[in-house]
Amino acid sequence: PVLVKPGPPIKGTDKDDPEMFEWKEEYKEFLHQNRQLKDNLRSIYSLVWGQCSQPMKAKLMAVDGYELADRLCDCIWLLNTIKSIMFKFEGQKEIFHANIEARHHLDCMKQKEDENTNSFLEQFKATVDAFEHYGGSIGTDKGLIEAVRAEMISED
């Protein structure tokens, strides 16, 4: 999340001018929201980190970019990396290998007999997210697209 900083006041605006007063109030509000955002991000990051097991923390600390993400309290990086680790696509693997593993996991997915539809849908979405995280893209396989196109033409 990014907050938009108010633009500078109009040059030549008198300090008692209502526009200058309004700008000062907007700037104070921006500073307050910015502090609040940083505090909230630190809280969320700490909460998620605190819920991680020691082995998970060790894996996270071994991933490239951990130091920067930790310093910035980058919640999105933390959650995406946890998701990747949970799907066993470690950060040390080559991106091509991780993409192939993610695609294989996606291709092999099926709903269990005792699993409700909502639960499966959530798991499916998470698997697609992991696949896309490693550069995968659903519905763009040229070979399959050409096969469907050829089939459609032959039906006409």
Q: What is the DSSP string of 35-84?
A: HHHHHHHHHHHHHHHHHS-HHHHHHHHHSTTHHHHHHHT-HHHHHHHHHH
* Contact in structure between 68 and 104 (CB atoms under 8 Å): no
Query: What predicted TM-score, i.e. pTM, was given to this entire model?
Result: 0.54
Please measure the distance between the N-terminal and C-terminal CA atoms of the chain and give it in whole angstroms: 51
In the DSSP assignment, the letter for residue 93 is S
Quote the pLDDT of residue 102. Answer: 81
- Rounded CA-CA distance 26/7 in Å is 10
| Token reading at 71 | 């310093």
pLDDT tens digits for 102-145?
Answer: 888 889 999 999 999 998 998 898 888 878 877 788 888 788 78
- Rounded CA-CA distance 55/79 in Å is 16
Provide the pLDDT confidence category of residue 93 given band limits of 50, 70 and 90: low
